[in-house]
């Protein structure tokens, strides 16, 4: 795929030339590489704002664009794939230079990404992957290793309960999202090594606090009092809802019921500092700024980036929680 380097009003005629002349235009783009970052217009199709983490990703996308002189066209899809497909088509019609897509679900993207490719507009996937036989439909994906996130959480729990028999409930993320199957797979892989760990219930909390609370209330009603040893949530926001439900059931979260979740949002660090939570696996929210730097480098040297750019997944526990809370509370 080639990066457009020409003034917008002449884009259409160039686009017809686009594919055939990609290599030739590459020279032009290189010619424009005077370190000038201005003029890059990027469309970002964001899933919505279901969690503190997603709000932080959006905030850093805006800040990162400003810092690099990039014009950002932002679209909030309210959790709906059809809105994202509409947004991508609108970005193509506007002739943007590149598109960032955080795909709410993993399937159903080939057609619209084919249109972006035909229009010579590179697409970078953020924080979630897509299922496609044709990886050339996107330039690269900036995501964490979402299977490893589950493994880290499962290994932590196995280490924490030290052979004690432990019945676990799981609050999954949005059904159909790539990372949900992965975070589940990694966790199950890790606990399979410990015969004392039993995953007894699982349900989607749609990555929101309200739904996380509701699901945990259901688990507490369905299970005999004191029979739940731990809860694993695919994100911190659902866990914060679950912690509320545990407290309202008269139990002590972090003690009576262990907690492990994913994201690293400030409120989970506060909960850990207060003794109400035990562990979180951080998901780095600065995925858009990483994507901008990939696009700017690609614009410069036209060397395609690796198909996957992995972000770190670090485990945090209460010992550093107060300091981490102080460090992050203004970011989200």
Write out the residues near ligand AHR by the rule CB under 6 A: 50-51, 53-54, 127-128, 179, 207, 235, 237, 262-263, 283
- Using the structure block, give the residue that is written with the tokens 């460090």: 327
* Shortest CB 265 distance to ligand AHR, Å: 8
* Shortest CB 254 distance to ligand AHR, Å: 20
* Shortest CB 178 distance to ligand AHR, Å: 8
Residue 97 or 214: the one with the smaller Cβ distance to ligand AHR is 214
Residue 207 or 232: the one with the smaller Cβ distance to ligand AHR is 207
Residue 40 or 291: the one with the smaller Cβ distance to ligand AHR is 291
Buried/exposed 268-306: b ≥16 CB within 10 Å, e otherwise? bbbbbbeebbbbbbbbbbbbbbbbbebbbebbeebeebe
Residue 1 or 126: the one with the smaller Cβ distance to ligand AHR is 126
Q: Residue 142: which residues within 8 A CB-CB, separation 6 or more?
A: 124, 125, 126, 127, 287, 290, 291, 294, 309, 311
* Shortest CB 118 distance to ligand AHR, Å: 28
Residue 191 or 287: the one with the smaller Cβ distance to ligand AHR is 287
* Shortest CB 106 distance to ligand AHR, Å: 11
Residue 141 or 179: the one with the smaller Cβ distance to ligand AHR is 179
* Shortest CB 301 distance to ligand AHR, Å: 30
């Amino acid at each position: 795929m080639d990066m457009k380097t020409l003034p917008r009003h002449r884009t259409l005629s160039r686009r017809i030339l686009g594919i055939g002349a990609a290599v030739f235009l590459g020279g032009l783009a290189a010619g424009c590489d005077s370190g000038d970052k201005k003029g890059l217009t990027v469309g970002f199709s964001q899933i919505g704002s279901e969690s503190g983490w997603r709000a932080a990703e959006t905030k850093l996308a805006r800040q990162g664009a400003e810092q690099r002189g990039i014009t950002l066209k932002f679209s909030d899809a309210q959790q709906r794939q059809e809105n994202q497909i509409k947004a991508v088509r609108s970005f193509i019609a506007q002739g943007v230079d590149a598109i960032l897509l955080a795909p709410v679900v993993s399937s159903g993207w080939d057609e619209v990404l084919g249109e972006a490719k035909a229009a010579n507009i590179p697409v970078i996937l953020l924080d979630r992957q897509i299922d496609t036989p044709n990886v050339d439909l996107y330039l690269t994906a900036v995501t964490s290793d979402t299977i490893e996130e589950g493994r880290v959480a499962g290994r932590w729990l196995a280490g924490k309960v030290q052979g004690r028999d432990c019945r676990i409930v799981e609050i999954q993320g949005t059904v159909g999202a790539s990372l949900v199957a992965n975070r589940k797979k990694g966790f199950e892989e890790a606990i399979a090594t410990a015969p004392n760990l039993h995953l007894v219930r699982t349900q989607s909390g749609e990555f929101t606090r309200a739904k996380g609370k509701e699901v945990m209330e259901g688990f507490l009603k369905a299970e005999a009092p004191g029979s739940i040893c731990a809860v694993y949530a695919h994100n911190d926001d659902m866990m914060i809802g679950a912690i509320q439900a545990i407290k309202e059931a008269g139990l002590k979260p972090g003690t009576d019921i262990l907690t492990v979740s994913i994201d690293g949002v400030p409120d989970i660090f506060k909960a850990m500092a207060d003794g109400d939570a035990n562990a979180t696996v951080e998901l780095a929210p600065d995925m858009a700024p990483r994507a901008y730097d990939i696009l700017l480098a690609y614009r410069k040297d036209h060397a395609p980036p690796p198909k996957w750019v992995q972000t770190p997944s670090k485990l945090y526990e209460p010992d550093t929680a107060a300091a981490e809370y102080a460090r992050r509370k203004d970011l989200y």
